[in-house]
Amino acid sequence: MNKAIRQHASASFAVGFTPIPFADGPILLANQGTMIRRIMKQYDLENDFESIQMMVGALGAGTLISNLGRYLVGQLAKFIPGAGSVINGSVATAITVSLGFTVSEISYRIAKQKLQGKDVSTFIKDLTSQDEVKELFNDFLKKEMKSKK
């Protein structure tokens, strides 16, 4: 799983390295969507619409807005030749890695519940109500950003 996440993170860095401000957003989203599908396929969840919805919805608007801020800073930094692209590439990589590890961890937990014959929908509701997915993402993001320093 780590290999797939790192492959998509490398692609995010390359896309984030694009010197044209705001040109990389749609490509990054497509890359991250493909990564999520690959991860969920590994856990045999690719056809589980409820799980996919939960993965995206559980991160919530606050997390997405927070990361949008990081993204915008990276995009504005592109106006500084050279350094701006490196900053944006690093931010894109950190967000992609964090998203990948979060999706992998939650997919693992959902697959484990399914194998044990437990009610997955109740498990998913509990995860989202406790903000556990957001916390996981934020923890992975902090670790990844720290490793970039």
Q: Output the pLDDT for position 64.
A: 53
Q: Output the pLDDT for position 137.
A: 86
pLDDT exceeds 70 at position 90 = yes
pLDDT exceeds 80 at position 62 = no
Which position has the higher pLDDT, 75 or 7?
7
Q: Output the pLDDT for position 50.
A: 66
Contacts of 64-69 with C-beta under 8 Å, sequence gap 24+, read: 67/95, 67/141
Return all residues near 131 (Cβ < 8 A) that are at least 6 apart: 60
13-22: per-residue pLDDT in tens? Answer: 777 666 666 6
| pLDDT category of residue 89 using cuts at 50, 70 and 90 | confident
Q: Output the pLDDT for position 75.
A: 53
Average per-residue pLDDT in the chain? 75
User: H or E stretch including 56?
Assistant: helix 49-77
pTM of the model: 0.76
Q: Output the pLDDT for position 23.
A: 61
Task: Compute the Cα dihedral for 119, 51, 66, 145 and give only its sign.
Answer: positive
Which range, 45-49, 81-85, 109-113, has the best average confidence (pLDDT)?
A: 109-113
